[in-house]
Amino acid sequence: MHRNPLDTAVSMYFETHFRQLHPSSKGYTEKLKKMQNLDRIPPEKIEDFVLDSIWGIERVCKFNRGWLSFIQSADKIKFHIISYETAKSNSKLEIEKFLGFLNSKVKNIDEIVQKTQFDEMKKLESSLSEPVGRLRLGMQVPGEPESMKVRKGKIGGYRDYLSDHVIKQCADIASSYDFNV
């Protein structure tokens, strides 16, 4: 799945600061020491984070561009790229396309669409009393909704956190990798 790189960078900020490197996270002290030894402590402020070449939008763009370039050059391997934005706007069509790619004959597409809607996933995660599984679903920081894996599901949600000036800087970085913000 591919997503607007600036929305991804903002999500990475919350994943990093409220889930992976929060003092309440498992192995926090060890992770922090390792980051300190590598001089790779993530910036605390979200605008600094998204502009940071190691943590922010540039990292996202490099990663995405690498995968897209690989996919374009792969001769005998089939890929199906799904855009988060398209999946959000027309879930049923995207699920049908994906199932077609898999040659799947699933008949209950409407049920799949219903269960994969953002509100349903948020409700499921909110119902958990403690983190579950490898993705560590559930609130990681008690009382902090930004620590949820399923946070907002908003296309262009980065606008809620970043100034126009920082958005412009990020757009320039993304553009240098042929991505639009």
CATH (domain of 151): 3.40.50.300
Alpha-carbon dihedral sign for residues 49, 170, 147, 34: negative
Beta-ladder partners of 2: 83
**Rounded distance between C-alpha atoms, residue 25 and residue 56, angstroms:** 21
Q: Quick one: tokens of 133?
A: 């599984």
**Residue 93 domain flag:** yes
Judge whether 23 lies within some domain: yes
- Residue 41 DSSP one-character state: P
Q: Which two tokens stand for residue 67?
A: 């995968």
Token pair, residue 77, equals: 């391997």
What gap in Å lies between CA 62 and CA 35, rounded to an integer? Answer: 21
- Per-residue pLDDT 10s for the chain (181 aa) are 889 999 999 999 988 888 888 887 788 899 999 999 999 999 999 999 999 999 999 999 999 999 999 998 888 888 999 999 998 899 899 989 999 999 998 888 898 888 878 787 777 777 766 656 555 665 566 666 676 666 677 889 999 999 999 999 999 999 999 999 9
Could you give the CA distance from residue 159 to residue 56 in angstroms, rounded to a whole number? 15
The CA distances from residue 5 to 48, 90, 157, in Å, are 16, 20, 12
180 occurs within a structural domain:
no
181 within domain boundaries: no
Angstrom distance (rounded) from CA 30 to CA 19: 15
Nearest partner of 142 among 124, 130, 152, judged by Cα = 130
Residues 54, 58: Cα–Cα separation, whole Å = 7
The pTM assigned to this predicted structure is 0.82
- Does a structural domain hold residue 130? yes
Residue 15 is assigned to a structural domain of this protein: yes
Write out the two tokens for 144.
């902090």
| Count of structural domains within the chain | 1
Residue 72 lies in a domain: yes
- Name the residue range of residue 21's domain: 5-175
